[in-house]
Amino acid sequence: MNTARTHESERTEAVHQRLTVSFHYPVVFTRGVFRADNPALIDQVRRLESDRQHRALAFVDRGVADAWPKLPTDIERYAEAHAEHLRLAGPPRIVPGGERIKNDLGVIRDLMHHIARGGLCRHSYVVIVGGGAVLDAVGFCASLIHRGLRTIRVPTTVLAQNDAGVGVKTGINTDGGKNTAGTFAPPHAVLNDFELLRTLPDGEWIAGAAEAFKVAILKDAEFFAWLEARAEAIPARDEAVMERLIRRCAELHLDHIRTGGDPFETGAARPLDFGHWAAHQLEAMSGWRVGHGAAVAAGIAVDSLYAERQGWLIPRDAERILDALRGAGFALWHPEFDRRAADGSREILRGLETFREHLGGDLCLTFPERIGARREVGAVEPSEFEACFDLLRSRFGPRGR
């Protein structure tokens, strides 16, 4: 801590308070996380105070509970097997899966009541099992009760394991907008169980790969080449490829948060949001029918075409990006892209304005500048984006238009 008293003027005096808070959370890769003989979870429960019994509440995504009906019982059995250190304050609670949990303030209020009534203290745990939406929403609630309870995330989608679950943010959607409310709340631990991904529908399995393309394009040319060579293995559900994809993508996200100099996003630059201005707008415009990963893939395509038109990305690299995304099974055109506002402009372009507001007034977008490198841009030309959407429609939209 560093405090200094300065005389700013005759009449004003300031005491400058500076403090640094450090966070540590392991991201553990495991299998069978709730098998009683798997130490991953109990090790994290005991990490800070090894001798006492900790209270915990568990939350399970409805989609996960449907696909793995025994999972809530497995969690209870796990706690019984480790009763010396872990006691559940109630049975695991099943919560709505997908974006609807982030959209419903009634559900958020119920979750907060449930956590607040669980008798948890600041050394207790909230164990969250689910996709990125459930991690975001339950994590948001947990970050508010007692000014922040410890969370242990068990991400159950590709996207949650390689991106949403390993970061430091929570969020919910209010007023029709995406992530309009949220907190910075690093987890206590993240337990990525690859086996849980087996039951993902194909669309969700593919969707999570979008964030891997995103970080690879901006930060790691070698990883991009690896992905490009294996794009078709993604829709074919090649598990070995997916496991490596998740690990590398999670590492790149963790590296960025740790070394990027702005983990709590106080500055304007937001490189991990490459492709996201259009993605968030598309998600909201589609009434949340288009999920986050699918929307990000289309957003990457738009911004890559823009970068090509500006001469930042050579045409060959833009083509490689589009080809790889197509090969991985992503749709790069969505009918929402053609929706027009009263003034004739594309509604999707409002995403630029929303993004600017979210950043705090100044627009700062990240674009690829060859594969593996990036540039931040403070001003963009909406008419150029119009041309990019026209191009996407002509190449990937419905025939005969």
Ligand X SMILES: NC(=O)c1ccc[n+]([C@@H]2O[C@H](COP(=O)([O-])OP(=O)(O)OC[C@H]3O[C@@H](n4cnc5c(N)ncnc54)[C@H](O)[C@@H]3O)[C@@H](O)[C@H]2O)c1
Which residue lies nearer to ligand X by CB, 68 or 312?
Answer: 68
Partnered with residue 36 across adjacent β-strands are none
Residue in the block written with tokens 């800070």:
48
Residues 127-156 that bind ligand X (CB under 6 A): 130-134, 136, 156
Residue closer to ligand X by CB (options 168, 221) is: 168
Using CB under 6 A as the criterion, what x/- string covers residues 271-310 for binding ligand X? --------------------xxx-----------------
Q: Select the span of 12-20, 23-31, 56-64, 309-317 touching ligand X (CB under 6 A).
A: 56-64
Strands 13-16 vs 86-88: parallel, antiparallel or unpaired: unpaired
Write down how long the chain is: 401
| 102 contributes a contact to ligand X by CB under 6 A | yes
Binding mask 153-172 for ligand X (x = CB under 6 A): ---xx-xx--xx--x-x-x-
Looking at the Cβ atoms of 201 and 378, the one nearer to ligand X is: 201
Q: Nearest-CA neighbor of 332 among 305, 369, 368, 367?
A: 305
Sign of torsion, CA 200 201 204 206?
A: positive
99 binds ligand X (CB under 6 A): yes
Q: Which residues lie closer than 8 Å to 149 by C-beta, 6 or more apart? A: 115, 120, 122, 124, 125, 126, 142, 143
- Assess contact for 368 and 361: CB atoms under 8 A: no
318: nearest Cα among 380, 274, 368, 379: 368
Query: For residues 370 and 321, what is the distance between their CA atoms, to the nearest angstrom?
Result: 11
Q: Quick one: tokens of 111? A: 């979750």
Closest contact distance (angstroms) between CB of 57 and ligand X is 19
CB of 275 to ligand X, least distance (A): 12
Residue 234 within binding range of ligand X, rule CB under 6 A: no
Residue nearer to ligand X on the CB measure, 163 or 228: 163
Nearer CB in complex with ligand X: 79/159: 159
State how far the Cα of 286 lies from the Cα of 54, in Å rounded to an integer: 43
Q: Distance between the two ends of the chain, CA-based, in angstroms?
A: 64
Quickly tell me which residue has 């019982």 as its tokens: 73
Stretch that binds ligand X, among 63-71, 113-121, 183-191, 317-325 (CB under 6 A): 63-71
Instruction: Tell me the site size for ligand X, rule CB under 6 A.
Output: 35
**Residue 62 interacting with ligand X (CB under 6 A):** yes
Residue 144 CB, nearest approach to ligand X (Å): 15
Go through 319-343 and write b for each residue having 16 or more CB atoms within 10 A of its CB, e for each that does not. ebbbebbbbbbbebbbebbbeeeee
CB of 119 to ligand X, least distance (A): 27
Kind and range of the H or E element at 242?
Answer: helix 239-259
State in angstroms the smallest separation of the CB of 136 from ligand X: 5
State which residue, 38 or 183, has the beta carbon closest to ligand X.
183
Cβ distance 67 to 199 under 8 Å?
A: yes
Question: Judged by CB under 6 A, does residue 64 bind ligand X?
Answer: yes
Which of 98, 118, 187, 271 lies at the binding interface for ligand X (CB under 6 A)?
A: 98
CB atoms within 10 A of CB 212: 30
Closer CB to ligand X, 177 or 372, in the complex: 177
For 218, the enclosing helix (H) or strand (E) is helix 209-219
Per the CB < 8 A criterion, the answer to whether 132 and 160 are in contact is: yes
Which residues from 340-399 bind ligand X, rule CB under 6 A?
none
Minimum gap (Å) between residue 21 Cβ and ligand X = 19
Q: How far apart are CA 363 and CA 361, in angstroms?
A: 7
- Distance of closest approach, residue 247 Cβ to ligand X, in angstroms: 17
Closest CB 4 distance from ligand X, rounded Å: 35
d(CA 221, CA 79): 44
* Residues at the site binding ligand X, with contacts judged by CB under 6 A: 61-64, 67, 97-99, 102, 130-134, 136, 156-157, 159-160, 163-164, 167, 169, 171, 179, 196-197, 199-200, 204, 207-208, 291-293
